[in-house]
Amino acid sequence: MPQAWIVDDDDEMSQAVKLMLQMLDHTVVIYREARSAARALLAGNRPDVIVLDINMPEVSGIDFLEFVRMRPELTNLPVVMLSSETTDIQVDEALRKGANAFVFKPVTLEELEAALGKAKGKKQS
């Protein structure tokens, strides 16, 4: 079963996304902030996909995404960005910095499934 990481400081949203990912046959690990997820990656843990909130305290989702994309061993790791803000500027920045897909809160099961398909099908070069 593929493993998905949720990196989001919003407990309610994390639990909702976790349930959806489980319905889509993923095991799920939740990180409440980017630093602990970064430490896990540096320790050699690798999910099959990361669902990453943009707006988090201390280290933003965009900063974490840049950290992931700067590491050669992680360039092909699929990342789905998740945000409650719907600005084109934010979406463009996330995609420019290496996100594979973008969904808006509150996300539906169908939207999440489509984003996962897009993210896993698109490899970073």
Residue 27 is part of a domain; what is its CATH number? 3.40.50.2300
Does 58 map to a domain?
yes
Query: What is the model's pTM?
Result: 0.94
Joined tokens for residue 120: 């896993």
Q: What's the number of domains the chain is made of? A: 1
Does 45 map to a domain?
yes
Joined tokens for residue 114: 């489509």
Residues 1-50 have pLDDT tens digits of 999 999 999 999 999 999 999 999 999 999 999 999 999 999 999 999 99
**What is the span of the domain harbouring residue 12?**
3-82+98-104
Does 92 map to a domain?
no
Question: Are residues 58 and 71 in contact, defined by beta-carbon separation less than 8 angstroms?
Answer: no
Does 89 map to a domain?
no
Does 72 map to a domain?
yes
